[in-house]
Amino acid sequence: MLELSHHVDLKPYNTMGISCFADYLTRVSSEGELREALEWAGEKKLPVCPLGEGSNVIFSGDFQGLVIAIGIKGCEVATGEIDGQVLVKAGAGESWHEFVQWSLSQNYYGLENLSLIPGCVGAAPIQNIGAYGVEVKDVFHSLQAMDVVTGEVVTLTGEDCQFGYRNSVFKGKYRDRFIIVSVTFSLSKTFEPQLDYGQLQREVLQTAGVNPVTGQLVSDVVCRIRNSRLPAPEQLGNAGSFFKNPMVTREHYQKLLEQEPEMVAFSSGDECWKLAAGWLIDQCGFKGVAYSTGAGVYRYQALVLVNHGHADGQAILTLAGDIREAVSERFGVDLEIEPRIY
């Protein structure tokens, strides 16, 4: 039996801490319950909003439809070891960080650089989350998703998902068509540290000293770095990195470098450069800014927009708009908002 709550405050369901209301909310813990919820919404002709931990969502106002809190759990080995790789399947409602820690406890490697990224497993492929030189696509095998209209569960490969930088097909033509129910990863039984990121390499080697570098040690260092840069949502509402790092042509980069010799950027191949969005925002004077609406920018990291307690979605988006306008005027660069806007 589908259990529905009416007129639900979504503040506990999004890490930005925005208070707004959903007409209806239900929690599902199985494919059958999810299918039942979608059938109900379909009969009522209501839009649906799937939510995991709400760490990459901004509600611009009340949601006039059905919010489905995804609680499909479970971690299991899908197949045994094949050429040193093992397929591991996790339910979409599993906490991402807890899943990373579970994989390490089983001596399965490949996810350690992605430790402490907020959100659930089901959201990871949508964003193609990444950190410290590793992205989900690097360890992705397949996912299972339910068609919102038909209730059919389909399997999609990495090619089907069309992964890009913080992007996938679920942010394009498959947006609102599928809800992910589980994800399968190809992890390694042999630990090979990925330490291309300078700060991570330095801190890992310093922490390890004369001892061998382990997957858990890398994970612990990643957690330490992230905790030093990002506020805990329960203490200060935020959705992590609010903007993508913009990509520009080599010509654009060279022109900017002449004007801004200290500009932070990284070569991304194919004659493209990735600019550090946080640096651009900082140069425009927004780091630490606090609007009277309650919207602000984190004082230690300009890439993170925060809610000082009473900001609504419109206040956050107004601040984001001011930032985008300032960066565009000064650098000729368009910043793209990373969280999904409802």
Unique residue bearing structure tokens 């927004």: 286
Architecture of the domain defined by 75-188: 2-Layer Sandwich (3.30)
Class at the top of the CATH hierarchy for domain 237-341: alpha beta
Q: Is-catalytic flag, 241?
A: yes
Task: Identify the residue whose tokens are 């999904």.
Answer: 340
- Residue 235 has which token pair? 């203490």
Residue-wise pLDDT tens for the chain (342 aa)? 899 999 999 999 999 999 999 999 999 999 999 999 999 999 999 999 999 999 999 999 999 999 999 999 999 998 877 888 999 999 999 999 999 999 999 999 999 999 999 999 999 999 999 999 999 999 999 999 999 999 999 999 999 999 999 999 999 999 999 999 999 999 999 999 999 888 999 999 999 999 999 999 999 999 999 998 889 898 999 999 999 999 999 999 999 999 999 999 988 877 899 999 999 999 999 999 999 999 999 999 999 999 999 999 999 999 999 999 999 999 999 999 999 999
The residue written with tokens 């708009």 in the block is 321
Side-chain-facing half-sphere of 108: CA atoms under 13 Å: 24
Catalytic residue among 53, 166, 168, 182: 166
* Beta carbons within 8 Å of 50's beta carbon, 6+ residues apart: 67, 68, 70, 122, 179
Contact 15, 137 (CB under 8 A): no
Identify whether 338 is a catalytic site residue. yes
Choice among 53, 94, 135, 338 that is catalytic? 338
60 is catalytic: no
DSSP conformation letters of 58-120: E-SS-EEEEEEEE----EEEEEEEETTEEEEEEETTSBHHHHHHHHHHTT-BS-GGGTT--SB
Instruction: Classify 145 as helix, strand or coil.
Output: strand
| Domain ranges across the chain | 5-70, 75-188, 237-341
What is the rounded CA–CA span in Å between residue 162 and residue 11?
A: 32
Q: Options 1.10.1060.10, 3.20.20.450, 3.30.43.10, 3.60.10.10; which CATH number does 5-70 get?
A: 3.30.43.10
Q: How far apart are CA 167 and CA 162, in angstroms?
A: 8
Q: What is the pTM of this model?
A: 0.92
SS3 327: helix
